[in-house]
Structure 1
Amino acid sequence: MKRFLIYTGIIIVITILIAVGLDGIYTRIFMESKNRGKIETVINSKAKKYDVVILGSSRANNHFVSQLFEDKGLKTFNFGMSGGHLFEASLLLKLMIERKYEIKNVILEADLNLSNDQEAEGVSTKFLPYIHNSEVIKKHFYDEENFNELYYIPFYRYVKYDSEIGFREVYKTLIVEKTNALDNLGYYPLVKHKNGNMKNNIVNLNPLPHNKYYEEIKSLCKTNNINLITVMTPMCENVVGMNYFDKVKKTYPEIYNYENVVKEDKYFSSCGHMNDNGARIFTARILNDFFNK
């Protein structure tokens, strides 16, 4: 029995040491990454200056044409992240401020995501390699129910979220394999799809009366003298429950409602995402309304 306990103890110690070693190796590789995605680009960057920073979900990523801002002399980058919620948008802005970014304007896409204050797991996990290297990230995740496992158990986060930050991603980071996330100044243009879903039902969607992460973004901008422009972006014509946008406006009167600026299906790739032509019409309107003075 004694020998069994000794062997068991040795195996446990070796397992812990391996986990700690692998955790350190994976983290080190991610700490050197700068060209695969928007999150690590910000985390591993130094102070930058922007006239316009765009934040939000895919409805920001696919709807704001960065180059059109640049053509007006406005240094711009679209940090919208497909699948992201306001949880991730707030954290990304915190990290920019932590790295002493100078930002004049933030354009925030906030419409459908005002209905929740949860993390978007597929996006938020990409912050986890840096949880021990950034107090901002640690605090942002602190109230999540699995924080203790993620923070205190070595290598646990890499195993649990292997599909996002596991071996495959580490390998691609190590060989410096680029993605298209940073192309077009962060803007991702869509094309018109013949089989695009041109129907949507948001009748049961309601904005939260106090969205924690939207309030965080407002507070961050106010504290750091950043002009915040929050907008709702267009959806196609065949949406059931379009009064959701009226409910958002009633709850958050400071948000600008642009859901009806582009309507025709020919300008959409799917019901919730405009194609490149639609995005250019929409971006031109934003430029004219806010930056043509």
Structure 2
Amino acid sequence: MKKFLLYILGIFLLTVLIAVLLDGLYTYAFMQSRNRGKIETVFNSTAKNYDVVILGSSRANNHFVSQMFEDKGFKTFNYGMSGGHLFEASLMLKLMIERKYEIKNIILEADLNLSNDQESEGVSTKFLPYIHCSKVIKDHFSTEENFNELYYIPFYRYLKFDSKIGFREVYKIEVNEKTNALDNLGYYPLEKHKNGNMKNNIVNLNPLPHNKYYEEIKSICKKNNINFIAVMTPMCENVVGMNYFDKVKKVYPEIHNYENIVVEDKYFSSCGHMTNEGARLFTARIIKDFFWK
């Protein structure tokens, strides 16, 4: 019996050792990644200076043409993340501050995501390789239900989210395979598609009366003397429940409502995402209203 118990203990210790070693190897690989995505690029960067930083979901990523700001003399990068929520936008800003970024203006796309304060698992997962290397990442995840498993069990996060941060991603980092996430200064242009979904129903959406992560972003900007510009971006003509934007304005009067600046379907790739042509019209208006008076 004693030998059996010692054998089991030995297997357990060996498993833990292997997990610790693999955890270290995977984390080391992510610490070298600088050209695959926005999160790892920020984490592995040193202090940068920006006139304009854009945050939000795909409705930021596809709607703000960074080069148009640059053409007016404003150093800009679009850090909008497709599928992201305000949970990730807040953490991205915290990470920039931790990395000593100097930022003059933050443009935050704040509209549909004000209706929730949950993480977007597909995006937040990409912060997890650095959870032991950054206090702000650790603290940001500390209130999540699965924090203890993610933080204290070696290699668990890489196994659980293998499709996002597992072996395939590590391999692509090692062979220096790039993505298009950093092209066009972070802006991702869309084209018009004949099969694009040009209908949407947001009747049941309601902005939270106090969105934790929106308030965090506001607070960080105030603390660091960053001019905070929150905007609602356009949607197509066939949306049911457009009074959602009025509800946002009532709860958060400081958010600028631009949902009706571009409305014609010809400027949309899908109901919630403009084409490059529509994005350029929208960006021109934002620059005119806030940066080029």
1:288 counterpart letter in structure 2: K
1: CA distance, partners of 2:152 / 2:49: 35
Q: TM-score if structure 1 supplies the norm length?
A: 1.00
Cα deviation for residue 259 of structure 1 reads: 0.2
2: CA distance, partners of 1:96 / 1:175: 27
1:155-178 CA distance string (max 9 Å, x none):
000000000000000100111100
Per the alignment, residue 278 of structure 2 pairs with: 278
Cα deviation for residue 4 of structure 1 reads: 1.6
1:138 counterpart letter in structure 2: K
Within the alignment, does 1:105 sit opposite 2:116 as a pair? Answer: no
Per the alignment, residue 74 of structure 1 pairs with: 74
When the two structures are aligned, how many residues end up with a matched partner?
293
Within the alignment, does 1:133 sit opposite 2:133 as a pair? Answer: yes
SS in 1 for 2:229: strand
Per the alignment, residue 13 of structure 2 pairs with: 13
Per the alignment, residue 114 of structure 2 pairs with: 114
Per the alignment, residue 144 of structure 2 pairs with: 144
1:16 counterpart letter in structure 2: V
1:32 counterpart letter in structure 2: Q
SS in 2 for 1:248: helix
Within the alignment, does 1:245 sit opposite 2:238 as a pair? Answer: no
Cα deviation for residue 59 of structure 1 reads: 0.1
Cα deviation for residue 236 of structure 1 reads: 0.3
SS in 2 for 1:231: strand
Cα deviation for residue 124 of structure 1 reads: 0.1
Per the alignment, residue 261 of structure 1 pairs with: 261
Cα deviation for residue 278 of structure 1 reads: 0.3
Quick one: percent identity of the two aligned structures? 82
SS in 2 for 1:208: coil
Per the alignment, residue 62 of structure 1 pairs with: 62
Per the alignment, residue 123 of structure 2 pairs with: 123
Per the alignment, residue 208 of structure 1 pairs with: 208
2:106 counterpart letter in structure 1: V
Q: TM-score if structure 2 supplies the norm length?
A: 1.00
1:20-71 CA distance string (max 9 Å, x none):
0000000000001111000000000000000000000000000000000000
1: CA distance, partners of 2:179 / 2:204: 36
1:31 counterpart letter in structure 2: M
Q: Which runs of 4+ in 1 moved over 6 A?
A: none
2: CA distance, partners of 1:115 / 1:35: 32
2: CA distance, partners of 1:270 / 1:135: 38
